[in-house]
Structure 1
Amino acid sequence: MSDIRVRPLEANDRAVWEELWHGYLSFYKVSNFSPEVTEATWQRLLDPNGPLHGLVAVEGDEVLGLVHYLFHPSSWTIGPYCYLQDLFTFPAARRRGVGEVLIEAVADAARAQNAARVYWLTHESNAPGRSLYDRVARHAGFIHYIKDL
């Protein structure tokens, strides 16, 4: 895991990001996803002043996975919450700690923003993802994960 690092998504990552993005959509059996939404998502991720943030896990020059996240106010805390919206790795990169590294990178970004927590959702059938999430966060009684910061 020590050779895996996380960096912000860059404009020249478009092709590999799309490959991961489409893999993510396929994993959740999303078909007929609008190319316009994909384009808008990409543009939002690249906007340094926008609310949507993207990171990639890399080993050397190879991109292994992605994560998207955003901050929003909460009526329960002074600081914002951080919603980890999308997390996906290439199948060949799984079980190597890539997902955990990406989650921790989001947690670091959330701490820097004085966020109260990072949370995310997953489908109940996502057993591999849930086994990771159960290790790094607490289950809130829903298929909804919270990492208190």
Structure 2
Amino acid sequence: MSDILIRPLEEKDHADWKRLWTNYLIFYKASVSEEVYATTWERLIGEGEFEPNGFLAFIDGRAVGLVHYIYHRSCWSLVNNCYLQDLFADASTRGKGVGSKLIKAVQDEAGKLGIKNVYWMTKEDNAVARSLYDKVATRTGFIEYDLL
């Protein structure tokens, strides 16, 4: 397998980003409006301490994975936390290091700001992702609740 290149999202990545994020949403049987796509993209490439950020993963020049992450304040620390919101790798590349490299890129970027707490969640039945997460992070035992 070729080397995996990870780099921050750039304006020129819109089509690759949209393709990957669409596939991520399909995986989770979800969808968003075109307005949400457009607003999310603008936020990802915009500036601001609390705007979302993202990286793409490339193999042989082809975008094969993405991650979105957001910094936010905490009542438990003087420095922000980092929420890894979305992580996706093309099905053809799963198990080949794309996800772990994207997670590491977020961890390294957060570390530049003194942020040690990078966290995320996944569906309980997402066995493939959980097998990676169990190798790279500690499961906290917290259960999520949503007011929808």
Do 1:124 and 1:143's aligned partners in 2 also have CA atoms closer than 8 Å? Answer: no
Match runs of 1:48-87 below 5 Å: 48-49=47-48, 51-87=51-87
44-53 or 85-94: bigger deviation = 44-53
Q: How many Å apart are 1:49 and its aligned residue? A: 3.3
Aligned residues of 1:70 and 1:83 also touching (Cα < 8 A): yes
Q: Which residue of structure 2 aligns with residue 9 of structure 1?
A: 9
In the alignment, which residue of structure 2 is the partner of 1:93? 93
Q: For 1:1-40, what aligned pairs fall within 5 Å after superposition?
A: 3-31=3-31, 33-40=32-39
Deviations 1:27-55 (CA, angstroms, capped at 9, x unpaired): 11114x21101110011111133621010
Residue 143 of structure 1 and its aligned partner are, at CA, apart by 5.7
**Alignment-derived partner of residue 130 in structure 2:** 130
**3-state DSSP class of the match of 2:26?**
helix
- TM-score of the aligned structures, taking structure 2 as reference length: 0.90
In structure 2, the partner of 1:109 is 109
- The whole-number CA distance in structure 2 between the counterparts of 1:120 and 1:5 is 22
Runs of 4+ in 1 over 3 A off after TM superposition: none
CA distance in 1, matches of 2:65, 2:102: 8
- The structure that is strand-richer by fraction is 1
3-state DSSP class of the match of 2:131?
A: helix
Alignment size in residue pairs: 143
Q: Secondary structure at the match of 1:67?
A: strand
- Listed as ranges, the gaps of 5+ residues in structure 2 are none
1: CA distance between counterparts of 2:48 and 2:12? 19
**Residues 1:103 and 1:2: Cα distance change in structure 2 (over 3 Å):** farther
Task: Give the match for residue 43 of structure 1.
Answer: 42
Equivalent-residue separation in structure 1 for 2:59 and 2:122 (angstroms):
26
> Structure 1 residues 2, 136: closer, same or farther in 2, change over 3 A?
farther
RMSD, aligned CA: 1.6
Structure 1 residues not aligned, in runs of 5+: 145-149
The percent identity for this pair of structures is 49
- 1:120 aligned to 2:120? yes
- Does structure 2 conserve the Cα–Cα contact (< 8 Å) formed by 1:24 and 1:88? yes
Judge conservation of contact 2:2–2:60 (CA < 8 Å) in 1: no
Partner deviation per Cα, 1:55-105 (whole Å, 9 max, x = no partner): 001123111100000111111111110000000011111111000000000
In structure 2, do the counterparts of structure 1 residues 116 and 40 end up closer, same or farther at CA, with 3 Å as the change threshold?
A: same
Amino acid of the structure 2 residue aligned with 1:45: L
Check the 8 A contact 1:64/1:93 in 2, yes or no: yes
